């Protein structure tokens, strides 16, 4: 996506051909800072501390993490240690395991002396594929938005509600939930996005709002609790969210609070779509609620908020009494029954076994 007049991806290989550059998402929206990753530890740190986040980008960063780890050691045992270190960084987004396993199985089929170059080629392939896949998600999602727009009486915009950040910053480019929004904007369809702020880390306020503003797309930031009210008053035409892991039975794990939006959408007959690449489908898990590991993050993310003061400095302030403790589950699971449809790179399907297997028949064996 363009920022000003320059085109950026969220991760890229540096000119030295070895290090990798990312946009430090912990600094947005107040500072646009590019950070260089030169080692496996740098990549692991970037994922763990959420300088990069969002399921597809976590996967892409892990792929480059393998490259960085292999730079000075490339045996099968090294590869296994690198893979384990990366996979342990964040538990919920399945793209992390998907990318590391894809890298490992490809590299194990190659002799040790050729592994480093092969790793960089495979990581670049993963990134390029991610861009193509997300653009295709955008094209399929655009048709849903177009249909809603055609049924509107006047030139009124289509109102989309989204949660967290599933825009281009969460992927290599385009995003998942926001790809249809970008496509609709490109196609000249008037569009307005309700942006959930997404406490505790405020990915909606700091990242989604920043992305949409940079592309000139009309949007309003809302507190996480406003969505149900807006839906009750006919102010949301559809919800589109991303996902960190979707089971082959259609249960959707996404940023905490997604489930409540899906419940409100169901109660108000608002279509609730989930946009995802094939790499986010977990073909090993049947029951999302019971089996998807939910990341529990630091209580400080709930007890403190970070922002820019009127004098321009970035500061954290505590919002609860000193003696109050906090719980911080980072994700929740929306059961398939609350999901209107899944927007994938291969088309839109119902959330469930039949729908997913109609688009990914090659995964059908044994299911």
Nearer to ligand MRU, 48 or 229 (CB): 48
Q: Which is nearer to ligand MRU, 53 or 261 (CB)?
A: 53
Residues 64-83 that bind ligand MRU (CB under 6 A): none
Q: Which of 10, 51, 176, 334 binds ligand MRU (CB under 6 A)?
A: 176
- Of 9 and 255, the one with the shorter C-beta distance to ligand MRU is 255
Interface positions, 259-298, toward ligand MRU (CB under 6 A): none
255 binds ligand MRU (CB under 6 A): yes
SS (H, E, C) the chain: CEECCEECCCEEECCCCCCEEEECCCCCCCCCCEEEECCHHHHHHHHHCCCCCCHHHHHHHHHHHHHHHHCCCCCHHHHHHHHHHHHCCCCCCHHHHHHHHHHHHHHHCCCHHHHHHHHHHHHHHHHHHHHHHHHHHHHHHHHHHHHHHHCCCCCCCEEEEECCCCCHHHCCCCCCCCHHHHHHHHCCCCEEEEEECCCCCCHHHHHHHHHHHHCCCEEEEECHHHHHHHHHCCCCCEEEECCCEEECCCCEEEECCHHHHHHHHHHCCCCEEEECCHHHEECCCCCHHHHCCCCECCCHHHHEEEEECCCCCEEEEECCCCCCCCCCECEEEECHHHCCEEEECCEEECCCHHHHHHHCHHHCCCC
Instruction: Name which of 107 and 144 has its Cβ closer to ligand MRU.
Output: 144
The residue within the footprint of ligand MRU, chosen from 173, 196, 197, 244 (CB under 6 A), is: 244
Residue 20, beta-bridge partner list: 13, 37
211 touches ligand MRU by CB under 6 A: no
Candidate ranges 149-157, 242-250, 286-294, 358-366; the one touching ligand MRU (CB under 6 A): 242-250
Q: Among 196, 244, 251, 282, which one carries the catalytic annotation?
A: 244
**Under rule CB under 6 A, which residues in 119-158 are in contact with ligand MRU?**
none
**Residue 243 within binding range of ligand MRU, rule CB under 6 A:** yes
Q: What is the C-alpha separation between 280 and 62, in angstroms, rounded? A: 14
Residues that contact ligand MRU, how many (by CB under 6 A): 17
- Whichever of 53 and 183 has its CB closer to ligand MRU, that residue is 53
Could you say which of 1, 10, 47, 53 contacts ligand MRU (CB under 6 A)? 53
Considering only 179-187, 238-246, 302-310, 344-352, which stretch makes contact with ligand MRU by CB under 6 A?
238-246
* 250 in contact with ligand MRU (CB under 6 A): no
CB of 150 to ligand MRU, least distance (A): 27
Q: Which of 123, 164, 193, 252 binds ligand MRU (CB under 6 A)?
A: 164
Is 282 in the active site? no
Catalytic residue ranges? 244
Binding site for ligand MRU (CB under 6 A): 53-56, 93, 164, 166, 170-171, 176, 203, 242-244, 254-255, 330
């Amino acid at each position: 996506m363009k920022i000003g007049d320059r085109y950026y991806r969220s991760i890229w290989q540096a000119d030295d051909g070895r290090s990798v550059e990312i946009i430090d998402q912990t600094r947005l929206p107040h500072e646009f800072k590019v950070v260089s990753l030169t080692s496996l530890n740098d990549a692991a740190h970037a994922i763990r501390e959420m300088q990069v986040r969002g399921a597809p980008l976590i996967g892409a960063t892990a792929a480059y993490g393998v490259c960085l780890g292999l730079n000075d050691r490339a045996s099968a045992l090294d590869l296994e240690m690198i893979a384990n270190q990366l996979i342990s960084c964040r538990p919920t987004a399945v793209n992390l395991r998907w990318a590391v396993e894809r890298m490992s199985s490809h590299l194990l089929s190659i002799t040790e002396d050729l592994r480093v170059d092969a790793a960089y080629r495979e990581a670049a392939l993963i990134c390029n594929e991610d861009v193509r896949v997300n653009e295709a998600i955008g094209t399929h999602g655009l048709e849903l938005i177009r249909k809603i727009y055609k049924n509107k009486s006047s030139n009124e915009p289509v109102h989309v509600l989204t949660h967290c950040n599933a825009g281009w910053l969460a992927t290599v480019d385009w995003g998942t939930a926001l790809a249809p929004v970008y496509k609709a904007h490109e196609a000249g369809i008037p569009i307005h996005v309700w942006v959930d702020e997404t406490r505790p880390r405020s990915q909606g306020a700091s990242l989604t709002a920043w992305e949409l503003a940079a592309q000139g797309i009309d949007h309003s930031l809302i507190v996480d609790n406003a969505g149900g009210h807006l839906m009750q008053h006919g102010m949301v035409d559809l919800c589109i969210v991303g996902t960190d892991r979707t089971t082959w039975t259609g249960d959707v794990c996404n940023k905490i609070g997604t489930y409540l939006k899906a419940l409100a959408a169901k109660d108000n007959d608002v279509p609730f779509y989930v946009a995802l690449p094939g790499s986010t489908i977990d073909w090993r898990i049947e029951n999302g609620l019971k089996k998807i590991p939910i990341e529990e993050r630091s209580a400080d993310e709930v007890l403190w908020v970070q922002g820019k003061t009127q004098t321009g400095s970035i500061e954290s302030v505590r919002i609860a009494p000193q003696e109050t403790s906090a719980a911080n589950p980072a994700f929740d699971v929306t059961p398939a029954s609350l999901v209107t449809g899944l927007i994938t790179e291969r088309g839109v399907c119902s959330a469930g076994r039949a729908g997913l297997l109609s688009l990914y028949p090659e995964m059908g064996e044994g299911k």
